[in-house]
Structure formats: structure tokens, C-alpha cells
A and B are shown apart, each in its own frame.
Chain A
């Protein structure tokens, strides 16, 4: 029975734990202390990596797509339709639909996570660019800026608040969806949750991993608010 799916953290052993653990109380700080190093910390780092890669790739694709749709308006409906289509597929189903093609790998998870960031990022970047007042754009061109200069110095800075708002949404929802990845690969904060649910509902593990996931989402959101203020100093609030 040693050959089970993957090689993740070991199942909590109720037999040798403290009385809190054997009675499965709501939260045992001792367990968290003992298993931070072998369960929670690796899961946390994996989760950050999964999310970071997905948001970075998603942003690159969405940014390129939004620039194209901004330049060529006709491209907006098809790109919008595709990203909307991908967004509607339930996460667990999308993971499993990719398994026959890319296997039980990180690639499967990343492809799905990236596809969920596209809709939010694409819409926000495009709305941000379109929100630039035409008079401002005209003035920039009138002052002799080329199209590329106008984009880099005028349009993108003015669109920055909407773009960062999209990044916040995409990051927080990717952190959330990445927990589901644990049903495909033994990685991320979803894995201790999944183990906690499926094997003798072990409360401490569920509470600790759940709280950690929510904390990661809130901290990431707060960090992006700081980024937003730093890159748009002319905007107050």
C-alpha cells in the first residue's frame, strides 16, 4: 500500500498525537508547529509559485490580446468570446479535460489557471485603454508623439489603475482556484485541505490550510493596492 498517487505530505497520524489531536479538536496549535516544515510551508511555497506563474503568463497573453483589440476594434468580439468561453468551464472539469493531453502535471494546472485569468485581465486592460479621453490622446499626437510614445507615456499610465484592478481580481481568484489543483496534482495549499477532507476530517489541518489560503489572498490583494498607489502617485485614495 505504499504506492499511492504522488508523494505528498504524509497522512496525519492520530495515534501518536497529543490529546488535542487524537480527539480531533477544532484547532491544535501543536500540530501546526510540528507540521509547518513538512506540510504547510512547502504547500504555501508551491501555491505561491502556481499562482505567480499563472498570473504572469496570463498577463502577458491578455496584454498582447488587449493591445491588438485596442488597435483593431474588430478583434474584440472574437477575443472576448474565447476568454468568456474559457472562463465558463468549471475549474475541476477543465483540469480533467486537460489531463488526457498534458497528463497529471503542473502544466495541466497552469494551462487551466492561465485561462481563468484571461477574461478578467483582458477586459480590464482594454477598458483601461479605452477610458483614456480622446482629447488627451489628440493632444499627445498634436505635440508630436508617435503612436508608440503615446501608448507608453500617455495611454498605459492612464490605464494603470484599471489594469492593476484587473491584476488584483485575477490574482485573488487564481489563489482561490489553485486550491482545486490539489485534486489533480499533490501541490499547493489545496493538498492539505484535500487530505484533511478525504481522510478522517482532520480539523486542525483544514483550519490551518484554509486560513493560510485566505491570508495569502488578502495579503496579495493588499500588496497590489500598494503597487497601484506607487505607480499612480497622481491619484489620491
Chain B
């Protein structure tokens, strides 16, 4: 039986009250969602970051970087979540796999173009001064590439948190569980969970923005 709530601005104060009344529930669901998102981001970073950086350093594989990002954008998140559901019924890893596939394109493409786009004269100068390839990568290319790399990670993180919410329809857990279950939690609960999800996304974006500022050398202008 579905209870239809009336649509009104009054829902927002109700939602705030819901957060006050059920902090434990929201906290548990938020932790589930953070766990799912962090696992997926960790795996995606481990795959895409080294690959993008090394390919960018070698100036090879621009076709791969471009087509991965083009194709990645054409993959709707709901479709991915659904497709992995067909392959296996382990909800956690189904959804993690879908999120990894979504997170890889922005990370890979940005890290490739960040390193590939660095002024070649700088790299040549470093090589001429006798720096080894590994040091060129670590001390010249990586610091200069950090703003663009982090822009990619930020896009991926926001994307993953948004999609982890949708994964609830495929048994993924997290705050999406509340959002897709209006019959149980009423509209006020749904709006409360939506506020929490939005907060998570902003927190992730903020933390990554901060990390970029701290990690980038002072002479590198952002963006």
C-alpha cells in the first residue's frame, strides 16, 4: 500500500525532523554508501591512475583515452547497475563493479591528458639535466599534472556517490534504500535521505578540492 504524501514546502521541515528522529538509521545507511563508494573508487584509482599516467608519460594511447571517455559517457548508470545484476547475484560486488566501470573513464582520461599535455620543453630540459625517467615522472610531470588529475577524480567521486544511490534498486544498500522506499519512510524520509546524499557528494568534492590544493605545488595555478 502506497501512501501519497501531499506535496508542499512543509515537507522540508518534516525532513529535518526526520533526520533528528532517526540519526542512527541515516548514519548506518550513509556508512554503507561510503563503504560501497570508497571500495569502487579505490579499485578504479588503482586501475586507471597508473595506466593514465604511464600512457601520458609515453605519449601513447591517446585513442584509448579518448574512446574510453566517449564510451564511458554513453553508458547510463542505471543500465550498468542492471547489467551487472544479470551476471551475478552478489549485490555488493555487482554494484561495486558497476561503479568501478563508471569511475574509470574520467580518472583515466584526465590523468592521461594531464601528463600528456605538460610542456615538452620542461621534460626535455629535465632530461638534458640528466634526470632519470622515473624522477622526471615523479618530480616534474606528476606535480604539474595534479590539478587536472584531481579534477578527474572529483568528477568520478561525485558520479560514484550519485550512482551508489541508484544502486539501491539493485539491492546495493546505502541511503538509496530510503530514497526508493517511500512507502516505508514517507516523503519526509526520502527528502531527508536525499539531503544526506547531497551532503555526501559535496563533502567528497570539498575534500578532493582541498587535497588538490595541498598536493599541488604552489606555482601551479589551479584548473
Smallest CB gap from B183: residue in A:
A5
CB pair B7 A206 closer than 8 Å: no
**Docked pose: A97 CA to B199 CA in angstroms:** 13
- Please judge, given known A-B contacts A169-B73, A183-B180, A197-B85, whether A92 and B194 are in contact too, CB under 8 Å: yes
**CB–CB A190/B78 < 8 A:** yes
Residue of B2, B77, B161, B176 touching A179 (CB-CB under 8 A): B77
Query: How many angstroms between the C-alpha atoms of A197 and B83 in the bound complex?
Result: 9
Known contacts A97-B194, A97-B195, A101-B9: A92-B162 contact under CB 8 Å: yes
Determine, out of A11-19, A71-79, A210-218, the stretch whose residues face the partner at the interface: A210-218
Output the nearest chain B residue to A96 by Cβ-Cβ distance.
B194
Selected from B11, B76, B165, the residue in CB contact (under 8 A) with A93 is B165
Report B124 CB to chain A, min CB distance, Å. 27
Q: Is the CB of B169 within 8 A of A221?
A: no
Are A213 and B7 closer than 8 Å at their CB atoms? no
Cβ of A193 within 8 Å of any chain B Cβ, yes or no, is yes
Complex interface bits, B64-95 against A, C-beta within 8 A gives 1, otherwise 0: 00000010011111110111011000000000
Q: How far is the CA of A177 from the CA of B165 in the complex (A)?
A: 13
- Residue B170 at the chain A interface, CB threshold 8 Å: yes
> Are A176 and B77 interface neighbours, CB within 8 A?
yes
Please, which residue of chain A has its CB at the minimum distance from the CB of B7? Answer: A103
A197 to B169 CA separation, bound complex (whole angstroms): 7
Minimal beta-carbon separation of B222 from chain A (angstroms): 13
Q: A96-B191, A100-B191, A203-B86 are in contact. Are A90 and B161 (CB under 8 A)?
A: yes
Q: Do A99 and B201 touch across chains, with their CB atoms under 8 A apart?
A: no
Q: Contact check, B197 vs A93: say whether CB atoms are below 8 A apart.
A: yes
Q: Is B82 a contact partner of A193 (Cβ separation < 8 A)?
A: yes
- Is there an interface contact between A214 and B74, defined as CB atoms closer than 8 Å? yes
Task: Please tell me if B179 contacts chain A, counting CB pairs below 8 Å.
Answer: yes
Is the Cβ of A88 less than 8 Å from the Cβ of B202? Answer: yes
When chains A and B are docked, how far (Å) is the Cα of A207 from the Cα of B86?
9
Q: How far is the CA of A26 from the CA of B190 in the complex (A)?
A: 34
CA distance A218 to B191 in the complex (A): 34
Contacts A176-B77, A179-B76: A92 and B176 contacting too (C-beta < 8 A)?
yes
Note all chain A residues with C-beta closer than 8 A to B161. Answer: 90
Q: Does B184 contact A (CB under 8 A)?
A: no
The answer to whether the Cβ of B205 comes within 8 Å of any Cβ in the partner chain is yes
**Residues in chain B near residue A101, CB distance under 8 A:** 7, 9
Q: Which residue of B lies closest to A102 (CB)?
A: B7
By secondary structure, the A interface counts as helix
A217 and B198 in contact, given A96-B190, A96-B191, A197-B170 (Cβ under 8 angstroms): no
- What 0/1 readout, one digit per residue, does chain A (190-224) give for beta carbons within 8 Å of chain B? 10011011100101001101100110011001000
A113 within 8 A of B: no
B158 at interface (Cβ–Cβ under 8 A)? yes
Per-residue interface assignment for chain B, residues 164 to 184, with 1 indicating a CB less than 8 Å from any chain A CB and 0 otherwise: 011001100000100110000
Smallest CB–CB gap between B140 and chain A, Å? Answer: 27
* In the complex, residue of chain A having the shortest beta-carbon distance to the beta carbon of B163: A90
Find out whether the CB atom of A218 lies under 8 angstroms from the CB atom of B74: yes
Check B187 for interface membership: any CB of A closer than 8 A.
yes
Q: Is B221 an interface residue (CB 8 A)?
A: no
Complex CA gap A176/B76 in Å reads: 4
A88–B205 CB distance below 8 A: yes
Q: Is the CB of A176 within 8 A of B7?
A: no
Assembled-state Cα–Cα distance A182/B82 (Å)? 14
Q: How far is the CA of A103 from the CA of B187 in the complex (A)?
A: 11
Give chain B residues whose Cβ lies under 8 Å from the Cβ of A190: 76, 78
Q: Which residues of A contact B180 (CB under 8 A)?
A: 183
B7 neighbours in A (Cβ, 8 Å)? 99-103
A102 to chain B minimum Cβ distance, whole angstroms, is 7
Q: Report A93 CB to chain B, min CB distance, Å.
A: 4
Are A90 and B198 in contact (CB-based, < 8 A)?
A: yes
Q: Cβ of A89 < 8 Å from any Cβ of B?
A: yes
A and B contact pairs by CB, cutoff 8 A, 10 listed: A90-B162, A90-B165, A93-B179, A93-B194, A100-B11, A100-B191, A176-B75, A180-B77, A214-B74, A214-B76
Query: 6 closest A-B pairs (Cβ-Cβ)?
Result: A90-B162, A100-B11, A93-B194, A217-B74, A176-B76, A210-B79
In the complex, besides A5-B2, A94-B198, A193-B78, 8 extra interface pairs with C-beta distance below 8 angstroms are A90-B201, A93-B179, A96-B191, A97-B195, A102-B7, A176-B74, A183-B179, A214-B75
